[in-house]
């Protein structure tokens, strides 16, 4: 292939990637893309490039507000899916509780050689975690649960984790309100932790208004600057 041919084919690939990104391929071009290019990594890279930059054109259009009817219709539709989702979540919680109960039963039976008193005490501790905080917020993600209990300035979090936290991920506690988001502390991977905010005078000083306590999943490493995926959220006020 000559240099000119190479340049021509580069230009053609760029052109098709751009037009594909715009969504305005002709029928003939659509066929060509579907048959020859769609799986080509070089083509995909170019499409991603144009998607990233040219989509900004969309966001540059003069703002126009949609009639309120649109939101009413959206709300109606998502309300139906919320009901379904809530049912699924309830089932998940129940399944998880069943799973833990079964686990405890197995553990109980497996501890025949251990003194009954010791086992009973240990189990009681575990059950207390579940029984005393039935109303606290629960978030489930891949069988990972965080429960919180906010009492005065002390935040108590319980991580009950049948599955470990994913490798390379850490769990962080943040406080957010209109002032912004403030990283408070990294949480242990498992077990119960209490954080007395009285030990964080700078936090209390900055956040003198009601806000939210949020627990996020973030990559392990230095203190995070921005919040990752929020796993738990509960209201908080001093």
Partner 1 sequence: MNLEKDPQLIFLKCAAQPSQNNFKVLYEATQMRLFPVCLRILKNQELAQDCLQASYVKIWRNLDSYDAKKSKAVTWMSRIIRNQALDMLKRKQIVDYVDDVPDMADPSLHQEAQLLAAEQSALLAQCLAQLKPQAMHCILGNYFDSLTLQELADQLSQPLSTVKTWVRRSLPLLKKCLERSYEQH
- Using CB under 8 A as the binding rule, whether residue 60 contacts partner 1 is answered as yes
Closer residue to partner 1 in complex, CB, 40/100: 40
- Using CB under 8 A as the binding rule, whether residue 52 contacts partner 1 is answered as yes
Question: How many residues are there in the chain?
Answer: 238
User: Least distance to partner 1 from the beta carbon of 212, Å?
Assistant: 9
- Using CB under 8 A as the binding rule, whether residue 78 contacts partner 1 is answered as yes
How do 154-160 and 191-196 pair as beta strands?
A: antiparallel
Q: Which stretch binds partner 1 (CB under 8 A): 101-109, 123-131, 190-198, 225-233?
A: 225-233
CA distance 238 to 221: 30
Q: Angle between the 68-110 and 116-131 helix axes, to the nearest 10 degrees? A: 170
CA distance 232 to 171: 10
Closer residue to partner 1 in complex, CB, 74/124: 74
Cβ atoms of residues 187 and 145 within 8 Å: no
- Using CB under 8 A as the binding rule, whether residue 4 contacts partner 1 is answered as no
Closer residue to partner 1 in complex, CB, 143/176: 176
CA distance 83 to 184: 34
- Using CB under 8 A as the binding rule, whether residue 181 contacts partner 1 is answered as yes
**Element at 155 (helix H, strand E):** strand 154-160
- Using CB under 8 A as the binding rule, whether residue 61 contacts partner 1 is answered as yes
- Using CB under 8 A as the binding rule, whether residue 9 contacts partner 1 is answered as no
Most distant pair of Cα atoms in the chain: their distance: 85
Q: What share of the chain is helix, strand, coil (3-state, %, to 5)?
A: 50, 25, 25
Q: Which stretch binds partner 1 (CB under 8 A): 33-41, 61-69, 99-107, 127-135?
A: 61-69
User: Which residues of this chain interact with partner 1, rule CB under 8 A?
Assistant: 11-12, 14-15, 18-19, 22-26, 49, 51-67, 69-71, 73-75, 77-79, 81-82, 85, 176-178, 180-181, 214, 227, 229-231, 233
């Amino acid at each position: 292939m000559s240099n000119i041919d190479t340049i021509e084919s580069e230009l053609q690939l760029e052109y098709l990637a751009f037009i594909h990104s715009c969504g305005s391929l002709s029928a003939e071009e659509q066929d060509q893309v579907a048959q020859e290019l769609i799986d080509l990594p070089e083509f995909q890279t170019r499409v991603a490039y144009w998607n990233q930059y040219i989509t900004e054109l969309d966001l540059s259009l003069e703002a126009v507000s949609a009639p309120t009817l649109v939101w009413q219709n959206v709300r109606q539709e998502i309300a139906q899916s919320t009901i379904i989702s809530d049912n699924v979540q309830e089932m998940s919680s129940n399944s998880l509780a069943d799973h833990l109960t079964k686990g405890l039963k197995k553990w109980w039976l497996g501890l025949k050689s251990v003194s009954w008193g010791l086992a009973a005490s240990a189990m009681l501790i575990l059950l207390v975690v579940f029984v005393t905080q039935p109303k606290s917020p629960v978030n489930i993600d891949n069988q990972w649960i965080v429960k919180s209990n906010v009492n005065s300035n002390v935040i108590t979090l319980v991580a009950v984790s049948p599955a470990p936290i994913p490798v390379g991920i850490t769990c962080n506690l943040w406080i957010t309100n209109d002032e912004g988001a403030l990283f408070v502390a990294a949480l242990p991977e498992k077990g119960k932790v209490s954080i007395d905010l009285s030990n964080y005078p700078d936090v209390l000083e900055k956040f003198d208004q009601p806000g939210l306590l949020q627990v996020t999943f973030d990559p392990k490493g230095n203190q995070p600057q921005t919040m990752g995926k929020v796993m738990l959220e509960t209201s908080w006020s001093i």
